[in-house]
Structure 1
């Protein structure tokens, strides 16, 4: 007794075509463009910032100072404390001083990896989602749909990782300059974290 079968629809050629369309394509995730890309690199790897146009950097220590340069306040003068630290301050009357900036020759920004560490924390779960979706994409979709899904999911998960980052903590002087707001070391306005995105690009053979 034989077995008869018939192929009603051969999906294999289309699957092969969609798979070929993925060849040579890559998904790049990060803070990819604009001024925030530069800032992301500083946080991701850490760096030392030194004074170039003068002897000292002026580090804001209250919200008014954070919104303007030291030159915007003509009444500032230098105060050196017993511990040797130097500050730009101004008189507030009745023997009261307002501290505006600390003067330092350099600032060490610690490494706060949020792109690499965020990817390490989420990529396995994202790839499991992509693998589950791959079958449907190959049989009834656009090959680049799976790349877009991968990029969107990675970007979303890395954003969440960055928002939850706590260490190394934000410096006390930075918290004071922001008015005692968010203590997340990567968060000031949120623009850098919101700048995490993805793009699909071709890679060299």
Structure 2
């Protein structure tokens, strides 16, 4: 008779430690594309640009913070379901964070697509040919990404 050691405790301990080794960051990263990081920052917080002929006000259209506020409980539940897979040795900790990052990116991109307020001024709508305040070419939306960072 052959006896197989099925002690999974060392692997379980490693998986649990690995969960603390990673974090996920989501957004537009300056080191990847500083122009779109600036555009994201302008729309996230708003800005007033002073010119000799007056000022241009770009209102706050938060898509990162508001998505976080709206989705954080869903993301926590998603991570909890993925944690079960880590504990069952179906995925590793990094994969949990990769899946969570992809989910977060999708939710933020959806927010960018759906946001309607504050609306663009009529001159901007005529110039863009669209009333969606955060989508012109779609480049900002495409640049939302995530990084799994090892601590």
May I ask how many residue pairs the two structures share in their alignment? Answer: 145
Moved more, 131-140 or 187-196: 131-140
Give matches, 1:65-76, under 5 Å.
Answer: none
Q: Which has the larger radius of gyration?
A: 1
Correspondence 1:22 to 2:19? yes
Q: What residue number does 1:79 align with?
A: none
1:86-124 Cα offsets, whole Å, 9 max, x none, are: xxxxxxxxxxxxxxxxxx422011111100001111221
Give matches, 1:52-71, under 5 Å.
Answer: 55=52
Gaps of 5+ in 1: 1-6, 56-103
Give matches, 1:111-150, under 5 Å.
Answer: 111-140=60-89, 141-150=91-100
Question: Deviation at 1:126?
Answer: 2.1
Q: Quick check: which one's helix share is greater?
A: 2
Give matches, 1:173-188, under 5 Å.
Answer: 173-178=123-128, 181-188=129-136
What is the TM-score with the length of structure 2 in the denominator? 0.88
Q: What residue number does 1:109 align with?
A: 58
Does the residue aligned with 2:88 lie in a helix, a strand or coil? Answer: helix
Q: Quick check: which one's strand share is greater?
A: 1
Matched residues in 2 for 1:169 and 1:182: separation? 11
Q: What residue number does 1:198 align with?
A: 146
Does the residue aligned with 1:44 lie in a helix, a strand or coil? Answer: helix
What is the TM-score with the length of structure 1 in the denominator? 0.66
Please provide the CA RMSD for this pair. 1.8
Question: Deviation at 1:8?
Answer: 6.2
Matched residues in 1 for 2:87 and 2:146: separation? 22
Question: Deviation at 1:36?
Answer: 0.8
Correspondence 1:42 to 2:37? no
